[in-house]
Amino acid sequence: MNKEEILKKAQTENNDEMEIQIRDKSMKWTYLSMVIAAGAFSFIRDMQGYPMMDLAATVSFSAAVGNFYRYVKCKDKTALIFAIVTFIIFAVSTIRFIMGH
């Protein structure tokens, strides 16, 4: 390989890494905005006397899956703890939703 080929390959790899970082950050912002919006809607629904457990179940399930995926890929025990906690919140919220709360 000559210098130009090595440089071109390195630039391609850097672009791939940049795309991965951008995709990861966009998912982070998507996830954060979903949680904020669901929290606001849950608060409004609760204040009006409407059940809000469906939103809590949806957001907590999404958070559990995301954290479990992070644990599987990175072996981050904090992510596993968050996955377990948010899955428990999902289960409780789902049961309460089915019961009509």
Q: What is the Cα–Cα distance from 12 to 37, expressed in whole angstroms?
A: 37
All residues at 6 or more sequence positions from 70 whose CB lies less than 8 Å from its CB, including other chains? 76, 79, 83
Higher pLDDT, residue 69 or 91: 91
CA atoms of 89 and 11, how far apart (whole Å): 44
Q: How would DSSP label each residue in 35-49? A: HHHHHHHHHHHHHTT
- pLDDT tens track for 49-66: 888 888 889 989 988 998
What phi, psi does 57 have (nearest 5°)? -65, -40
Q: Which tens digit of pLDDT belongs to each residue from 30-45?
A: 888 888 888 898 889 8
Q: How far apart are CA 22 and CA 17, in angstroms?
A: 9
